[in-house]
Amino acid sequence: MSNGRALSPAVQSDAEAQSLLKDFLALIKIGIVNSNMITTFTGLFLAIQLSNERFFQNLDVLFFALGGTGLIIAGSAALNNLIDRDIDPIMSRTKSRPTVTGRFKAPPVLALALTFIVVGEFLLFSASFAAGLWGLAGVFSYVVLYSMWSKRKHVGNTVVGSISGAIPPLIGWAAFEPSLGAGAWALFLIMFIWQPPHFYALAMRRTDEYRAANIPMLPVVKGFARTKKSMLVWVLLLFPLPFLLTELGAGFLILATLLNIGWLYFALKGFKAKDDLKWATTMFVYSLNYMTILFVSIIIFSLFI
């Protein structure tokens, strides 16, 4: 209830600034930016550790890699919001985005997004030519291959979108070592294969919204039973990947295998689940913890190489 007194100009200004910041962070999808910065850092850090170089002697490379990656992802996310502003109002998860509410108009969003991508690419090319090229590949795969092409047309859109999500560790690695080693491709494969079961779980929870928006997600087109089988296959494909990183030692291999067994356990439980949405939520939460624990453990175990 109002106390009858108007807010002071200072309070109003502060509230407006906080609202603007919240909308800006939603525009650039700050959660996606942060998670991809972690995988970029992991790729860079592991490359440095495997080369027996000193991390603190490469802080300039760290700045270029993380700064550049963060900017191109933020710019690409803003472009995605522009592209999807006709379908976002249909979905409760996206209907409050600033490109939907009108808080941010299309021309300035486009200018901001392109500026972020250009500046980000400048930073990545400052790290290495290869890092810049991988950055361009990431932008193209997310904005063009996923957002503009496959998302609305093909049931395999999640797999296509997984390409861009798997590129950040390659950017981080290439920033230090342009000739990507086996470890870089191991990180790429882990990220690529992790994403379908993660996003299928989310899609199951949002099936009605995706159907209303005419987005051909796997649960919408093929149903829950087919989606569960696909998720099981993707989880099984994760099992051999830790063994591409044997340099990290037996401790890492055991931890990664236990994480895979845990995810397999929950995936199998889905075939007897009485509440599919509750099960999908469990799978989604486990996938988030899985990726966080796995990538943090990669960094930790690499310290003992």
Is 256 a member of any domain? yes
Question: Residue 2, Cα to own-chain centre: how many angstroms?
Answer: 42
With respect to residue 9, please indicate whether it lies within any of the assigned structural domains: no
- Residue 2: the pLDDT is 44
Predicted pLDDT of residue 16: 76
Q: How far apart are CA 33 and CA 37, in angstroms?
A: 6
Is 8 a member of any domain? no
pTM value > 0.75: yes
Predicted pLDDT of residue 137: 98
- Structural domain range at position 211: 19-302
User: Is residue 10 in a domain?
Assistant: no
Question: DSSP class of residue 86?
Answer: T
Q: What is the pLDDT of residue 53?
A: 87
Q: Is residue 258 part of a domain?
A: yes
Average pLDDT, consecutive stretches of 10 residues, N- to C-terminus, the chain (305 residues): 56 77 93 96 96 90 97 98 93 88 93 98 98 98 97 96 98 96 96 98 96 96 98 98 97 98 98 97 98 97 92
Cα(39)–Cα(191) distance, integer angstroms: 9
Q: Is 177 contained in some domain?
A: yes
Residue 18: per-residue pLDDT: 85
Which uninterrupted H or E stretch holds 292?
helix 276-302
Q: Residue 126: which residues within 8 A CB-CB, separation 6 or more?
A: 64, 68
In a domain, 5, yes or no: no
CA distance 272 to 59: 50
Residue 52 within a domain: yes
Residue 115 near residue 71, CB atoms below 8 Å = no
The number of residues making up the chain comes to: 305
CATH number at residue 64: 1.10.600
Sequence-ordered list of residues with C-beta below 8 angstroms from that of 290, at least 6 positions apart, any chain: 194, 259, 262, 263
Token pair, residue 141, equals 């795969």
Q: Which two tokens stand for residue 120?
A: 């980000």
- How many domains does the chain fold into? 1
